[in-house]
């Protein structure tokens, strides 16, 4: 069992949980993730390791409550436990050794950008971070990222930082300064827009993908993505890939596959769902 050591609400639907997982805390690297299994018969949920503290044995997981299982996770309090935490999984981030890196985070993706900026800074790379949210209350990890370099904050409504999308700020930085690598994490439309922006400039761009993932070993095939016409599995080949090769249309379609089922599951958990009679003939 893995105890909850600390809990913090970061934005209206994003929560940070510091979880006791000492072996993972000792060896995790930027870009890697864990699969969390809250209890028997619960869903297996992949979550990026946003930070760790080897001295206390804690790993930090940042969770956006969008479905039944994630709502159950963020409902945990200090002292509660998670049954299983498997990891670290996935390939570590490909880090440049010198130069200037632009890290772009949208929404909860900013938490995934954090360990990348941290790792780059430790290598002596100059880091500029561009992060965004719908409004001020949705901006996360600003203070943490400021430890590693300049941070530009964007909000859709202009309530904090500069008004506009992260891609607007990124475009200005790319035009004004030499950037050796871009790391982008966030909603699919944002990552697609960043990749389209950097493709024409010839700047390598790494994106972190979040397809449906079940076992984390490449056996189920649920997390398959297309890169340059070839199939890869996010759990074992990623989750980070060359953004210029990703088929974002396919990724978006696959992410929406179970949306209806998830909404029904949330409604049933709240006691508001209606069971529909199955009138179809058995196969």
Residue-range domains of the chain with CATH: 2-89 (2.40.30.10), 100-255 (3.40.50.80)
Q: What is the 3-state secondary structure (H, E, C) of the chain?
A: CEEEEEEEEEECCEEEEEEECHHHHHHCCCCCEEEEECCCCCCEEEEEEEEEECCCCEEEEEEECCCHHHHHHHCCCCCCEECEEEEEECCCCCCCCCCEEEEEEECCHHHHHHHHHHHHHHCCCEEEEEEEECCHHHCCCHHHHCCCEEEEEEECCCCCCEECCHHHHHHHHHHHCCCCEEEEECCHHHHHHHHHHHHCCCCCEEEECCCCCCCCCCCCCCCEEEECCEEEEHHHHCCEEECCCECHHHHHHHHCCCHHHHHHHHHHHCCCCCCCCCCCCCC
Give the span between the Cα atoms of 84 and 90, in whole angstroms: 17
| pLDDT of 129 over the 90 cut | yes
- Using 50, 70 and 90 to split pLDDT, how confident is the model at 123? very high
At 282 the pLDDT is 37
| pLDDT of 122 over the 50 cut | yes
At 260 the pLDDT is 57
* Lookup: tokens for 237: 């080949």
Give the span between the Cα atoms of 222 and 210, in whole angstroms: 11
Give the span between the Cα atoms of 41 and 217, in whole angstroms: 19
Nearest alpha-carbon partner for 165 in 187, 142, 140, 182: 187
Write the CB contacts of 234 (distance below 8 Å, at least 6 apart in sequence). Answer: 90, 209, 210, 211, 213, 223, 224, 225, 241
- Using 50, 70 and 90 to split pLDDT, how confident is the model at 23? very high
Cis peptide before 88 (omega within 30 of 0): yes
* Lookup: tokens for 20: 């006791």
Percentage with pLDDT > 90 across the chain: 69
Mean pLDDT within 272-280 = 49
pLDDT in tens, 61-118: 999 988 888 899 999 999 999 999 998 999 999 999 999 999 999 999 999 999 999 9
Give the span between the Cα atoms of 100 and 114, in whole angstroms: 16
At 211 the pLDDT is 77
Mean per-residue pLDDT over the chain, rounded: 88
**Burial grade of 233 (CB within 10 A; 0-12, 13-18, 19 or more):** buried
Q: Contact, 192 vs 248, CB < 8 A?
A: yes
Q: Contact, 181 vs 191, CB < 8 A?
A: no
Mean pLDDT within 185-190 = 94
Nearest alpha-carbon partner for 95 in 122, 65, 132: 122
HSE-up (13 A, CA, CB side) for residue 226: 10
Mean pLDDT within 226-255 = 89
pTM: 0.87
């Amino acid at each position: 069992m893995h105890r909850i050591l600390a809990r913090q609400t970061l934005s209206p639907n994003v929560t940070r949980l510091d979880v006791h997982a000492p072996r993972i805390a000792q060896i995790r690297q930027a870009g890697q993730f864990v699969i969390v299994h809250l209890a028997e018969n619960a869903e297996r949920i992949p979550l990026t390791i946003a930070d760790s503290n080897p001295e206390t044995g804690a790993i930090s997981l940042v969770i956006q409550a969008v479905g039944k299982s994630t709502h159950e996770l963020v409902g945990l309090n200090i002292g509660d436990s998670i049954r299983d935490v498997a990891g670290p999984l996935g390939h570590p981030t490909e880090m440049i050794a010198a130069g200037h890196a632009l890290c772009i985070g949208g929404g909860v993706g900013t938490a995934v950008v954090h360990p990348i900026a941290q790792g780059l800074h430790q290598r002596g790379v100059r880091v500029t971070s561009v992060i965004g949210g719908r409004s001020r209350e949705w901006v996360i990890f600003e203070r943490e990222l400021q430890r590693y370099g300049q941070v530009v904050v964007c909000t859709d409504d202009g309530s904090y930082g500069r008004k506009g999308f992260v891609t607007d700020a990124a475009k200005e930085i790319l035009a004004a300064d030499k950037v050796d690598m871009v790391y982008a994490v966030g909603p699919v439309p944002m990552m697609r827009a960043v990749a389209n922006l950097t493709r024409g400039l010839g700047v390598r761009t790494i994106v972190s993908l979040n397809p449906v993932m079940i076992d984390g070993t490449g056996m189920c095939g649920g997390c398959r993505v297309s890169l340059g016409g070839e199939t890869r599995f996010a759990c074992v080949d990623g989750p980070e890939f060359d953004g210029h090769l990703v088929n974002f249309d396919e990724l978006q379609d696959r992410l929406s596959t179970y949306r209806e089922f998830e909404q029904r599951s949330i409604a049933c958990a709240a006691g508001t769902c209606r069971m529909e009679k199955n009138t179809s003939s058995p196969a």
